[in-house]
Amino acid sequence: MNDRTVRRWASGDVPIPESVESDIRRILGVDERTEAHWPRDEWIVQREEGRRVYVVHTIMPRFIARAVECDEDGTPVPEEGEADVLTGVVYDSGDIVLCEVAWIDAPPGLNEIEQLMGQAADALENE
């Protein structure tokens, strides 16, 4: 394959063929069919007094989401500071809003994103 093709794949303009993506996952040891033994926790919650709260999904598709407390109107409470609860992936669980999602891996389809955000909200609640 030529370097122009690889650059087009890297830019996202052209999808990477499944066979190539499969080879890359195999080489990197990220075979979707086998579950890695680490990290042992699927969810990591960072919560400290006076600091922002984040939830991290550690298995594919990996992402980091900020958890923000909002008032009844959906506006972040003053203690949260500046928070983007309007753009990108925004998930309102009733108690908190997950926002400012940063994808480490390629984001999945919309249905799976909604499921993952629900699981992230549960992880925050059960933490």
Look at residue 31 and tell me whether its pLDDT is greater than 70: no
**30 φ, ψ to 5°?**
-115, 50
Confidence of residue 28 (pLDDT cuts 50, 70, 90): low
**The predicted structure's pLDDT at residue 114:** 94
For residue 5, the SS3 value is helix
**The predicted structure's pLDDT at residue 87:** 92
- Give ∠ CA 62-65-71 in degrees, rounded to 5: 160
Mean pLDDT of the chain: 85
Confidence of residue 32 (pLDDT cuts 50, 70, 90): low
Domain ranges of the chain: 1-34, 36-126
Distance CA 80, CA 31 (A): 38
**The predicted structure's pLDDT at residue 25:** 72
Q: What is the pLDDT of residues 71-95, one digit of tens each?
A: 988 899 999 989 999 999 999 998 7
Look at residue 66 and tell me whether its pLDDT is greater than 90: yes
